A and B are shown apart, each in its own frame.
Chain A
Amino acid sequence: MARVGVFICWCGSNIAKTVDVEKVAEAAAALPGVAYSTNYKYMCSEPGQNLVKQAIAEHKLSSIVVASCSPRLHEPTFRRCISEAGLNPFMLEMANIREHCSWVHDDNDAATKKAIDLVAMAVAKVAKNEPLSSQAIPITKKALVIGGGVSGIQTALDIADAGYKVTLVERTPSIGGRMAQYDKTFPTLDCAACILTPKMVDAASNPNIEILSYSEVENVSGFVGNFDVTIRKRARSVDMSKCTGCGACYEKCPKKVSSEFDCGLGQRKAIYVPFPQAVPNVPVIDREVCRWFAEGKCKVCEKICPTGAIDYSQEDEVITEQFGAIVAATGFDTWDPQEYGNLGYGKYPDVITSLQFERLFNASGPTDGKLLRPSDNQPPKNVVFISCIGSRDDEHGYPYCSKVCCMYNAKHALLLKEKVSDAQAYVFYMDIRANGKGYEEFVRRAMEKYGAVYLRGRVSRIIQEGDKLIVRGADTLAGKPVEIEADMVVLAAAMKPQPDAKEMARKLGISTDEYNWFSEAHPKLRPVEVLTAGVYLAGVCQYPKDIPDSVAQASGAASKVIGLFSKPNLESEPTVAEVNETTCAGCLLCKEICPFSAIEPKLLTDRAGNPVKTVASVNQGLCHGCGTCVAGCRSASVQLKGFKDDQLLAEVDALAFME
């Protein structure tokens, strides 16, 4: 028979003001099974906890009810407290008489009555509680980082610095991500390559980091501490161990195609590295366009390569490895402004996106850093920048703000003036959002020192007249229409999730928001974790961010991984599902519906090893204790430890049969 101790907390005046705590303690003393009952001002304080510990010893209590705040807040506190007094931490129930009672009621009598009900329920339940214990699960101390942009690189470097192994998977031929495409970065205008390239090289030379470029994650199974990940290393057609990166192959390759890295403004060869500072500096053959693969003749690269590194027969390699933690850093894509038919994107060559603009003044870009407009290779004089292309637009694009466009518009306006001294920048904006360190000052600089003209309003139409683009819009502050004769128009296209974000999220057990950005576990308090333990987020894959925020989150994710790896073992949550093998019919509906793939069939055999029947079996490491299987099982053959039917029914009965 359980000997229950009940401890009613006043929470200062938080509870005591509305609930008659003395009366609740008195009523509790009369409940079946209760051996001791008391009240105290702050149960969670040290004297409060000591009171609990003393009572356990003095009254030989076996089970404890603390009636106080939400278990979210202090369940860990009181579990620790009673285990220090020698009880199993799961012999505790909390009755939430604060959030569920005193804070939401003002009728003292009714609130007191409700508090008594809540305590009675907890007493009924705790009497049926069983001691639970967690299991130690070993951890594979190696991390997987998916996406080799600045976020992924930073995460990998930080984890590697702490002494753990990291595999960085990047699907393009080189790491670097979007940042590698930029010339300068706001708000300090450091040269992007000067700050990014060293990090890329560090990652490549760090003995703890393995970079798998031109590779993709195919499948993820397993759970925190021990994920099994299948990675497809796509055939590069170049032997990485032989290639010295001399570049002779792509010098001579006769096949040219439009360059993805230059956003279609420049060209690359069929064998290529996306940009000169690529890491690894080993080319790949694009088999879709290579003459050898398409037409069966050419092999120029093979002839020219001094080290014999070209290998047309290479095949994709699929590897499976174990990782203890996974960081998603898959970045973003940009919205296609062709959806705005009125702006002429895709129709007029000098209407370009901001990403294309980045390539136009990048020293390693298609124009070697000279700002020349695509139509006639002349430097533009009047350039119109338009914000919020697809952002903050419920109708055509996304309702959210892409967060960085205001800033790079200012950057572009400023750099324009630096490159072409007699140029004039016009920026159409809806609001200027410059809320970062040094950001407001930066925008002011673009306006005041570099003379950028900021026009609050939308552009309604762009038409080509001769070699000019006529931009018609409204200046809503002046309250009049404006028309600008521009040489070039730059559209700040919205950031949007990668096209395969949903699929990646599914593989990793990450939930997504309505746009497919990856969802964090808690918007405020757990911004780098996701609901699947052992999976973390870094960078824009979660939501639009600039580089400082991406890098900060990347380091945050790394520290979570390091924290996980610094433990000798993982402790599993003991409140997991458990199958009653006697009654289980082995229908495996539970397996179908378990959102965490925690259930597997298990064959029961007799003593001679003959099969008797198949039943469901819960992997304690994978089970999150969500209870879905419990609801699904027709014969109630699977129960959640700590929340078993008889325990919950005892609570219901306590309430139902209360006089």
Chain B
Amino acid sequence: MSMEQELREKAKELLSSGKVKVVIGYGEGSIPIKSTPIFVKTPEQADCLVLNPTCTNNLTVYLPQAVKSGPVAVVAKPCEVKNIVELVKENQIKREDVTVIAVSTPGILNDAALAEFDLLDVKKISWKADGVAVTTSQGDTVIPRDAAFQKKCLSCTAAQPAIADIKIGDWAERAPLQDKFADVEEYEKLSAEEKRAFWAGQFSKCIRCYACRQACPGCYCNECFVDKNGQIWASKDTGAESNWFFHMTRMMHTAGRCTGCGECERACPMGIPLSLMGKKMSLLVKELFGTQPGESMEDAPVFGCYQTNDPDPCPE
């Protein structure tokens, strides 16, 4: 049985048994290059569920709202299970209210891999043993894995999820094709001035649409600091300083919580490499506290616990 088939069966079971009210998964998009999030409410609708390299959205972002109308099941890839762990630990959802359908996919398509294709002519995108097959009127083209997949997928080890109710796919631990922090290492070669110039350039592009924040499962605040009216710490304009302030603050807010799902960067219409910032922070957290977000239900939040042996290095 294909993973997609298995997913549909499980979804039907969950819905017909009444265990969940809704299954959040992916359905066909308006064109085959993109799947779209769907909310499946009846066993019949479960046949609309798809699972293919274009299933990119992080569906856990819907959970805090969705659980309000009853128990839900959600399709989550390895990195996204970590977001669920964080959401449970941060009291946004109750563990018993979500059925985690953890799917270990071979990898998700990176949009840039389709650059050479006539997007309207793409009929189907599917996994092949050594990469992703793009079917057009001209036939199949196989893009090799390292060109086809998103960076986060290339460094994924599909390690056992901290929580899962249903596991689909091959969960055997795999060797990553790329080091997770490779681009941070590259970035670290820049001097302080170069780094500053780099980010100044990037942030000057930001139009403050907040798509990054909206896509982030960690940014569930009812009122974000930038939306405050009474107590205004952060200006709402798109000047260089205020953009810088927004991004740095958001980064501090996601420290120790950002799972590297990459949604912020993918959502950004201006192509700002937000994941790089997230990864740099993630690396710091790993080095300083020895923890990684979402990897265990027990780890205390890095900003929420104090240990006498906490490192306190002097920043250079």
Contacts and interface: CB of A to CB of B under 8 A. Distances in A.
Interface of A: 582-589, 592-593, 601, 614, 632, 634-637, 639, 644-646, 649
Contacts of B306: 593
Interface of B is mostly: loop
25 contacts: A582-B222, A583-B221, A583-B223, A585-B220, A585-B222, A586-B91, A587-B91, A587-B220, A589-B301, A592-B300, A592-B304, A593-B305, A593-B306, A601-B91, A614-B91, A632-B303, A634-B225, A634-B253, A635-B223, A635-B225, A636-B231, A637-B221, A637-B223, A644-B231, A649-B232
Contacts of A639: 231
A585 B221 contact: yes
Contacts of B253: 634
B303 A636 contact: no
Interface string B270-311: 000000000000000000000000000000110111100000
Nearest to A587: B90
B235 to A, nearest CB: 12
Pairs A-B, 3 closest by C-beta atoms: A645-B231, A592-B304, A635-B221
A582 B253 CA distance: 20
Contacts of A632: 303-304
Contacts of B315: none
A593 B223 CA distance: 21
A584 B222 CA distance: 7
A587 B303 CA distance: 13
Interface string B251-269: 0010000000000000000
Given A583-B223, A592-B304, 7 more contacts: A582-B223, A583-B221, A632-B304, A635-B224, A636-B228, A636-B231, A645-B233
Contacts of B42: none
B204 interface: no
A635 B253 CA distance: 9
Which of B228, B231, B253, B303 has most A Cβ within 10 Å? B231
A645 B232 CA distance: 8
A592 B303 CA distance: 9
Contact of B233 (A583, A584, A614, A649): A649
Given A583-B221, A634-B253, A635-B223, A588 B91 contact: yes
Interface residues of B, number: 21
A589 B90 contact: yes
Nearest to A639: B231
Nearest to B221: A635
A593 B225 CA distance: 20
B230 A646 contact: yes
B222 A583 contact: yes
A589 B225 contact: no
Contacts of A636: 225, 228, 231, 233
Interface in B63-122: 90-92
A587 B87 CA distance: 9
Contacts of A592: 300-301, 304-305
Contacts of A601: 91
Given A636-B228, A645-B231, A587 B222 contact: no
Contacts of B228: 636
Interface string B188-232: 000000000000000000000000000000001111110010111
B91 to A, nearest CB: 5
A593 B303 CA distance: 8
B231 to A, nearest CB: 3
Nearest to B231: A645
Nearest to B219: A634
Contacts of B300: 592
B223 to A, nearest CB: 4
Contacts of B223: 582-583, 635, 637
A601 B306 CA distance: 21
B25 to A, nearest CB: 26
A511 to B, nearest CB: 12
A31 B221 CA distance: 38
Interface string B151-184: 0000000000000000000000000000000000
A538 B63 CA distance: 54
Interface in B125-159: none
A593 B301 CA distance: 10
Which of B90, B221, B225, B233 has most A Cβ within 10 Å? B221
Nearest to B252: A634
Contact of B92 (A584, A586, A649): A586
Contacts of B231: 636, 639, 644-646, 649
